[in-house]
Amino acid sequence: MKATTEPRDEAQMIASILAGDTQLYHQLIRPYERSVYMMALSYMKNEADAEDVAQEAFLKAFHHLTTFRAEAKFSTWLIGIALNEARSRLRREAALRMESIDDTQDQGGHTSPAILRDWREVPSEALERKEVRQMLQQAITNLPTIYREVFVLRDVEELNNVETAAALSITVGNVKVRLHRARLMLQKQLAPLLRNMNPKRRWIPWF
Amino acid sequence: MVLNCKHVWDCISGYLDDTLPAEMRDRVQRHLDHCEICSAVLDSARNILILSADDLIFELPVGFSQRLHARLDQEMTS
């Protein structure tokens, strides 16, 4: 997770907040604002609802801080709350999509990658282009939920497999399977589009 | 057993994360060394991951943080 690099004793901060120093909560959550928002956005698919869900999640976390167990990571716990908030809101709103979070099959079907010989541009150059960013956003947003949530936590927010599994309450094995499929789906969809936008050939060295 | 392209695609995620067992990683590597197609697939997959991890892709809405903390202030004290 892209958190602060300063050493923070979150357990101590939480204890202080529970003891009455509630203003410290602002500081506690700052490094996680983005991840919580991203988790919300990956469900709600529009910024206004995602912001609302994120705010609710931070408020719920504050009101339920006594239930936080020290053996968990605070960030993972927070993201789990955002996830539940987003899911229950979607259930309440009942319906934009009939896609079930639980019913989508993990294993079914094989995704073959897009075969391209000449898309090897330098990514940072591509990112400067607004249409490339929008294309990526769109492709990630359109992934089926069970792949999108894993991809967002692992490859957008850069949580590790264990943290992602904990936040989503699934196994590490499931994280790996879903992540692999999400990546291949995105490669298949995006590689031809990105190649067409920047036909320059560049070799990117491995590692 | 020599790996074919389909086997290698199944390993791309693990290869990118460097979580393949050493022996499998070597076999995938040997395949990639001579297979132009799979090395291009790998490159494009890696590029997409690099792009996805960039904060520019999904930016926080302008004023997100201020609104959040203002609401927290309002509700934490009530």
Burial of B61 (0-12, 13-18, 19+ CB in 10 A): middle
The shortest CB-CB distance from B53 to any of A26, A115, A158 is to A158
Residue A201 binned pLDDT confidence (cut-offs 50, 70, 90): very low
| pLDDT tens-place string over residues A99-150 | 554 445 555 556 677 665 555 555 556 666 778 888 888 899 999 999 999 9
Check whether A97 has a pLDDT greater than 80.
no
8-state DSSP, A70: T
| pLDDT tens-place string over residues A24-77 | 999 999 999 999 999 999 888 889 999 999 999 999 999 999 999 878 889 999
Amino acid at A90: L
The shortest CB-CB distance from B43 to any of A120, A155, A156 is to A120
Residue A9 tokens read as 């004793």
Is the distance from CB of A157 to CB of A38 less than 8 angstroms?
yes
Residue A184 tokens read as 């291949």
Burial of A199 (0-12, 13-18, 19+ CB in 10 A): exposed
* CA–CA gap between residue A130 and residue A144 (Å, rounded): 24
| pLDDT tens-place string over residues B7-60 | 999 999 999 999 999 999 999 999 999 998 898 889 888 888 888 888 878 889
Say if B24 is an interface residue toward chain A (CB within 8 Å).
no
Residue A205 binned pLDDT confidence (cut-offs 50, 70, 90): very low
* ipTM of predicted assembly, 2 dp: 0.86
Q: Do A119 and B43 touch (CB under 8 A)?
A: yes
Say if B12 is an interface residue toward chain A (CB within 8 Å).
yes
Residue A203 binned pLDDT confidence (cut-offs 50, 70, 90): very low
* CA–CA gap between residue A123 and residue A106 (Å, rounded): 30
Say if B76 is an interface residue toward chain A (CB within 8 Å).
yes
